[in-house]
Structure 1
């Protein structure tokens, strides 16, 4: 038996880079307990699993499955990261503030009286990426620029019904060569606390700000958003086709929706979300003969918002009135969804978008990644996926986003490389026709 040792390879890198975690120096067949602990915005997140050392006293997380009873099951080299849970907290905050502060995970192995440790460091921003707060022209956001002089293709990033500024995704986009503008539109300094009555012209101004201030390579600007932001980016592509060159829609809707859980209580959840030329866009709940909130409000715990959303799909006339005219989008479209989305049926919505684009023979690339048993929260690789029952940050209503930790982690790990490939192909296609 040698000296117990934990090795993480590479020990430091971008958050989306997989790591190999090995333990050596155990006795053959010995039980080794591996713990992880990460401070995320001041909250400790932990995981634990037990392994049996092989005939050489080695454990390799890319090869070996943990014994029963740990934080995760099955072979998964990064299982100890995505299976972390907060200790004594309901926190869902996976990142530090500022997000440019690295996430440092202590990995500890114990075998009998012996113990050893190593650290695993994850960065959202690569070396040389710069951050700039934007508070001008009425816009509230944060711009991340890649290292190097550029010019770089650009992407505008929009959050969902939680509001705020999606800096983590912007930092990671910039780390992969995109000028990334995370634009808030509510629940941020100087903006409304609610999604209700948001003018689409605000986002058009954001697109124009990017072109004027960033001067993207070949004038390429994509939009990326999730949930209500996924609905929004499809809507922006259809409304401002000359200004949107590609659309990445995470767990989107095919229809315009009302304010729902992010609405102003004075307006109500059936009030309008989006305005154009000062007039509210027709949404799915308006005049809908089958829509009902009861399956959500009165359904079993944990409540599933998608149960209410599905009732609205029974009125074809309401669907036609509220449908986003995705055929007007003048660029590539990527859709990402999960089959167990607890917030709304993003797989059904994505299929509707995909089928409409096929029907009109959309002349640009259309991709749809649909993840079996995954839920509403599809992010990027190697972050915890355990906290899918939560109180909505605006309404306070408790519900589940659906899925399960393992399948949500699989969707995270597989979707992000696909998104990067899609965007790089979109950049090349745009440059060829520019």
Structure 2
């Protein structure tokens, strides 16, 4: 009898899954297919071809994919390669508390070059991929001006506190915060535009809003110490570096594919007012597929007229970790991180670190997240290029997630010196 197993059947979305098949003819080509339906009803799917061994078995921890969406030994390849049936959609978990993603795995005892509804799998199984561990609490945040969601791990604590933000598209994404809370952090998913009563666009980065968010988090009795960590990507990584440079509450900062200067918006904080470097949208490029690459729209902060826009990273209270994909097509994030690192060294600040991930693109997300090189944006008429290559990008997601958590744990413990 043909069998197919995925273990564990229920897991957190950042945990690996082992996939095995048995009961097949020896030395036979088969197809393994995965698919998941998101909360909007869109289907994401992947497939790979394998050769059974002499006992008629396949184990993705040992068996090599001979073709399909990837080649090689990649136990999580079917999860990495999930791509939208409708072009340019991005797989995002919105309701992290109420339900998991149900990933369907199917085995076909032949090579399916062109799958159709006429092909029926020999055996199927389903795995649950949760974005929150049992016992994690989610608290809606409406405190003064601050809007977001606070995730608290189970237990009395206290826990290291982290503010987590996504890029400039606005709204509130919670899946990284809920997973960080599942790993022992009190994590505030912070919105700053296009959410509830917040403005749709953010012409000015008012740093006092983010300071109020840090103060709110530190007031919680389950949050340890007198400082918070910040984790952010894209435009929010720029804001995170602003926070690190000016706010005394920020103790450790992770900037994922961001910049080293104020771009586009004004920055205000007390008597500080910085006019951002203007975007040059006329330098946007379009690809053969009709997507748009924005990396050329950000100007060089080394120009004399933009020196005042560069963020004074040397003023940061604590360490800063830059995580960058060198195939990022949204920002030239490696250049910006190197500039920040050079400034820090020149000014005598040693606890600034750069992690470069070869082949990775812009959207470095938790492990197991599908590779998304391009997706539609609500604020642009064309899809945006994020860049990267499937295997190196998804491998980088595993490394980045581990290094980021280790960095935060090490540097948010009371009384610790900065370390990586």
Aligned-residue Cα RMSD (Å) equals: 2.2
1:398-425 deviations in whole A, cap 9, x for unaligned?
Answer: 3311112223212212110010111111
What is the CA-CA distance between 1:372 and the residue it aligns to? Answer: 1.2
With over 3 angstroms needed to count, the CA separation of the structure-2 counterparts of 1:345 and 1:89, relative to structure 1, is closer
- Within-5 A mapping of 1:176-187: 176-187=183-194
CA distance in 2, matches of 1:314, 1:324: 10
Matched residue SS, 1:281: strand
Q: Could you tell me which residue of structure 2 aligns to residue 190 of structure 1?
A: 197
Partner of 2:51: 52
**C-alpha displacement of 1:105:** 0.9
**C-alpha distance in structure 2 between counterparts of 1:370 and 1:174, whole Å:** 26
Residue 294 of structure 1 deviates from its aligned partner by 3.3
1:43 lines up with 2:49 in the alignment: no
Contact 1:99 1:167 in 2 (8 A): no
- 8 Å contact kept, 1:96–1:102: no
Is 1:252 matched up with 2:258?
yes
* Distance (whole Å) between structure 2 residues aligned to residue 363 and residue 403 of structure 1: 30
The question of 1:380 aligning with 2:344 is answered: no
Q: Is 1:231 paired with 2:238? A: yes
Q: Distance in 2 between matches of 1:297 and 1:278?
A: 38
Query: What's the CA shift string for 1:26-56, capped at 9, x where partnerless?
Result: 1111121111121221322111111110111
- Tell me how far apart the structure 2 counterparts of residues 273 and 374 of structure 1 sit (CA, whole Å): 30
CA contact (8 A) 2:13 2:368 kept: yes
SS in structure 1 opposite 2:375?
A: strand
Aligned residue number for residue 263 of structure 1: none
TM-score by length of 1: 0.88
Distance change (3 Å), C-alpha of 1:180 and 1:92: same
Shift of 1:353: 1.4
Alignment partner of 1:349 is 2:336: yes
Counterpart-to-counterpart distance in 2, 1:179 and 1:233: 17
- In the alignment, does 2:267 pair up with 1:274? yes
Query: Counterparts of 2:73 and 2:159 in 1: how far apart (Å)?
Result: 38
Counterpart Cα distance in 2 of 1:251 and 1:433: 25
* Alpha-carbon contact 1:159-1:226 (below 8 Å) kept: yes
Bigger fraction of residues in helix: 1
Give, in angstroms, the shift of residue 108 of structure 1: 1.3
Structure 2 residue aligned with 1:104, among 93, 102, 121? 102
Structure 1 residue 146 corresponds to structure 2 residue 135: no
Matched, 1:131 2:138: yes
Match of 1:320 in 2: 307
User: Which residue pairs with 1:303 in the alignment?
Assistant: 292
**Corresponding residue number in structure 1 for 2:89:** 91
1:98–1:19 CA distance, 2 compared to 1 (3 A): closer
Indicate how the Cα distance of structure 1 residues 47 and 110 shifts in structure 2: closer, same or farther if over 3 A, else same. same
Indicate yes or no: 2:356 matched with 1:370.
yes
Unmatched runs of 5 consecutive residues or more in structure 2: 111-119
Q: Structure 2: how far apart are the matches of 1:65 and 1:7?
A: 17
Partner of 1:415: 400
Of residues 213-222 and 28-37 in structure 1, the stretch that sits farther from structure 2 once superposed is 213-222
- Cα distance, 1:338 vs structure 2: 1.0
Structure 1 window deviating more from structure 2 (350-359 vs 131-140): it is: 350-359
Query: Which whole-Å CA distance do the structure 1 matches of 2:306 and 2:267 have between them?
Result: 17
Q: Say if 2:220 is the partner of 1:208.
A: no
How many residues are aligned here?
407
Aligned residue runs from structure 1 range 6-45, under 5 A: 6-41=4-39, 42-45=41-44
Structure 1 range deviating more: 175-184 or 98-107: 98-107
SS at match of 2:66: coil
CA distance in 2, matches of 1:348, 1:239: 23
CA contact (8 A) 1:49 1:67 kept: yes
